């Protein structure tokens, strides 16, 4: 709830992936790094925009389809530095749903936490095709039942 607390830098990648984000200071394992923010739109609107973005060769859509496929975060026009975080199959950030001043499971906030210690100067990445950890899934079921 205190926002980004690390010095981060947007940079041009050298391998053709466009822009990326690196940290300018060490980040400890399990630390909150940033929130993925943008415009909350319906999944129908995301489908329409996604076709336009695909033609442009870039998309910043993050589906909030953990419970129902109702909403999507679009960071194309409104957002923060998270808009520039690239994908990796071996990421150093993990996505978690968090609820702040809202308990609607269809509208989680998207928090990115460090999966391991991250060195100063290292690029920040997360897996765009992430899978819910079975322990997290069980915890979610327990929370829902509670």
Is residue 128 part of the annotated active site? The answer reads yes
9 is in an annotated binding site: no
Which entry of 36, 60, 66, 78 is annotated as an active-site residue? Answer: 36
Cα 86 to Cα 49: distance, rounded to the nearest angstrom:
20
Neighbours of 43 (CB within 10 A): 17
The candidate with the shortest Cα–Cα distance to 80, out of 60, 64, 53, is: 60
Cα 114 to Cα 107: distance, rounded to the nearest angstrom:
22
Is residue 36 part of the annotated active site? The answer reads yes
The set of catalytic residues is: 36, 128
Q: Please report, in range form, the residues annotated as the binding site.
A: 89
Q: Please report, in range form, the residues annotated as the binding site for Zn(2+).
A: 89
């Amino acid at each position: 709830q205190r926002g980004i607390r690390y010095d981060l830098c947007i940079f041009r990648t050298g391998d053709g992936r466009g822009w990326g984000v690196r940290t300018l200071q060490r980040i400890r394992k399990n630390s909150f790094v940033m929130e993925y923010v943008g415009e909350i739109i319906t999944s129908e609107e995301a489908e329409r925009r996604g076709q336009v973005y695909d033609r442009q060769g870039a998309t910043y859509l993050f589906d909030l389809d953990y419970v129902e496929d109702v909403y999507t975060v679009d960071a194309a026009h409104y957002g923060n530095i998270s808009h520039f975080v690239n994908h990796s199959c071996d990421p150093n950030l993990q996505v978690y749903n968090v609820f702040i001043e809202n308990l609607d499971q269809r509208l989680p906030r998207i928090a990115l936490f460090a999966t391991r210690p991250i060195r100063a100067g290292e690029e920040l990445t997360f897996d765009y095709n992430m899978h819910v950890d079975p322990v997290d899934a069980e915890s979610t079921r327990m929370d829902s039942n509670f």
